Structure 1
Amino acid sequence: MGRKTEQKVRTYHRYLGFFLAGIMAVYAISGIVLTYRNTDYLKKEVLVESKLAIGLQDEDLGRALGKRAFKVDKTEGNLVYFEGGTYDKITGQASYIEMKMPLILDNMNKLHKMHSGHPLYWLNIFFGIALLFFAVSAFWMFKPKTPIFKKGLYFALGGIVLTVVLLFV
């Protein structure tokens, strides 16, 4: 590649990096926080009061509450007891404790886990393409004959090997 192309790639790499610094920080923080999603780390108890359909059966109640591993502890009359809450079969009133992240961390996690049904999913596609560009354009940051470039190739190879190992563990 010519000197002009090399300079353009370096310029795009630099300014795209500055532009995406904020979103990269959000993905980094939310990625770390998501590692602990199966624990109560950073979460706080929130009392949830909701009106559900009347007379729900156990499995339907779990679905209505959005709880995957739902289990009824006991039923006394019209009151159903489950972990952290109750449900009244006559009124449909449910009251339970839910563990929630602080709002900003919860929103970061939602952004990180966005799917194609979300109206802003195209931002994730753009971000993924930008990260792929970073990975490839990093090889234009130094001239191929320099020692730092050659050393960089060893680090890149090490990263590729580590990634392959992690994919099969």
Structure 2
Amino acid sequence: MASPKLHMAFRKYHRWLGFFLAGIMAVYAISGILLIFRKTDFLKSETVQIQQLEKGLNKAQLSSTLNIKGSKVVGETDTAIMLNVGEYNKNTGATRIVRKSYPLALDKMVKLHKATHNSPLYWLNISFGVGLLFFVISAFMMFVPKLPVYKNGLKLAGIGAIVTLLVIMFGS
């Protein structure tokens, strides 16, 4: 059994790290909720972008020139190619693109979740994950293992892990 001094030390570190990470957790929570609605227009605003491209491009050339993720040709006439994100005039080369995006602050928060190892946010994501793992471990170090609250905590943590795994396996 670990000493009471060790348990008190874990309580102290858990408390101070918890206060520090509370702000980070709030940002992650808000951006995570926003990501649930990323396929909708929730909180997004439209911006129209006008570009001048070469005249007479065909569908394939237009797609490779625009290089917009998720853009598709939805129709074509003698003078225009209609896209799900705008339209292209074959005669003039004028292109009108409509983009939907979050306001700047929300857009930055959403990018936090999408950070890869090429992004500086990568280190924040790893640090946050390590901090949360510390919380998992230190939560059980706050109580003496012989106490009922410790044993009940282990049971609840096990149930939470099982429910999460079931939702992951059968919910998607």
Fold equivalence (TM over 0.5):
yes
Question: Residue by residue, what CA displacement relative to the aligned partner does 1:127-161 show, whole Å, maximum 9, x if unpaired?
Answer: 11111111111111222222322221221111011
Partner of residue 35, structure 1: 36
5+ residue gaps, structure 2, are none
Distance 1:87 1:137, change over 3 A: same
TM-score by length of 2: 0.84
Partner of residue 107, structure 1: 108
Question: Residue by residue, what CA displacement relative to the aligned partner does 1:86-119 show, whole Å, maximum 9, x if unpaired?
Answer: 2245665421222211222111100111111113
Distance 1:54 1:149, change over 3 A: farther
Quote the Cα distance in structure 1 between the aligned partners of 2:54 and 2:14.
Answer: 54
Tell me the number of residue pairs that the alignment of Structure 1 and Structure 2 aligns.
Answer: 168
Is the Cα–Cα contact under 8 Å of residues 76 and 82 in structure 2 kept in the other structure?
Answer: yes
Deviant stretches of 4+, over 6 Å: none
Partner of residue 60, structure 2: 59
Offset at residue 47 of structure 1 (A): 1.1
Partner of residue 160, structure 2: 159
Aligned partner of residue 129 in structure 1, secondary structure: helix
Partner of residue 142, structure 2: 141
Question: Residue by residue, what CA displacement relative to the aligned partner does 1:32-84 show, whole Å, maximum 9, x if unpaired?
Answer: 1111111112222221223556654423433424132512411333x322234
Partner of residue 99, structure 2: 98
Aligned partner of residue 20 in structure 1, secondary structure: helix
Distance 1:142 1:67, change over 3 A: same
Partner of residue 68, structure 1: 70
5+ residue gaps, structure 1, are none
Aligned partner of residue 117 in structure 2, secondary structure: coil
Distance 1:65 1:75, change over 3 A: farther
Segment of structure 1 superposing worse, 43-52 or 105-114? 43-52
Partner of residue 121, structure 1: 122
